[in-house]
Structures are given as C-alpha cells and as structure tokens.
Amino acid sequence: MNPKGQEYVGSDALYADVQCTMQVAAELNSGWHTEEETRALLRRMGCRQVADDMRVFAPLHINYGPGVSFGRDCFLNFGCTLLALGGITIGDGAFIGPHCVLATEYHPEEPAHRHELLTKPIAIGRNAWLGANVTVLAGVTVGDNAIVAAGSVVTKDVPPDTVVAGVPAKAVRSIKRQ
C-alpha cells in the first residue's frame, strides 16, 4: 500500500493479504448472510474498522481488506467495487449506492511505465451519499454531507454540503437545509 501515490512495489505479505481478501469475498458473495455474519467476514478480510451497525449488501468486490475502514451506520448497496490498496475510509452514516466503484489504484499515463501501479487514498465523509453507478478515483475526498449524483465520475475533491454531478463531476449546488 502506498498512500502517497508513489510506485507500488508488491511484496509477498501484501500478495497474501490480497489473496485472503479475495477468498473471503468469494465466501461473502456465495450465499445469503445475516448482517452479523457479513460484518464477521469483513473482519476476517482484515478491514481496519468494521462498525457494529454498518451494513453491506452482497455482492461486494474488494481486493484488499486491510485498506478499508467502515464507519458507524454506513451502508454499501449491491455490487460495489473497492480497489483498496491505497486505503479507503467510509465515514459514519455514509450511503454508497449500487454498483459504485472506489478505485484507489491507477497507472501512469506514460506507456513505458503503464504497467506500474500507483495508489492514493479515498475518503468518503460523514453522511455523504453516492448515487448508483458512481466512480470515485484515487486521491479524492468526498466531504461530509455531500451528494454525488448517480452515474458521476469524481476526479477531484467534493466540498462538504455540496451536490456534484456529471463526467467529470462538477458542483451543481449547495445542500438544501430546512
């Protein structure tokens, strides 16, 4: 794991963690599990934090459990993909819609270096909401209470209390308060 975006250099220990995560993810995705069983499987993957009231609807595609932290009362809907070598933090109360992709990993543009793997962390803020089919790219922070509209691709940080939409996602307005 390389949270500063430097070249990723694999190790046998890291490879073992990835293999363990994917094995447990296959178990998670192989049948129905209670919420408690799902959280136990996430803990077996080595996730940094799995709050007792967080929820995940399988299938969940994840490559590196130790890179992920799930806050209190957060929710991930069906079919999410977490490429987590760079580290993913999902804040308390965050909602992640179906088929979202959080990709901390990327490759250099230069063809001679394209096979190198780089990483930067992703942080999803407290009470943030990612609509269906949102993609969040490496190095992005989605601020507290922000909303990312369905189908958006987030390439830059999203300020707190902001609605963003589009490809690439751009600010649409501030969150309405009653």
Q: Label each residue of 80-100 as H, E or C.
A: EEEECCCCEEECCCCEECCCC
Of residues 61, 99, 107, 115, which has the active-site annotation? Answer: 107
Has 107 been annotated as catalytic?
Answer: yes
Contact 121, 82 (CB under 8 A): no
d(CA 97, CA 77): 5
Residues catalogued as catalytic: 107
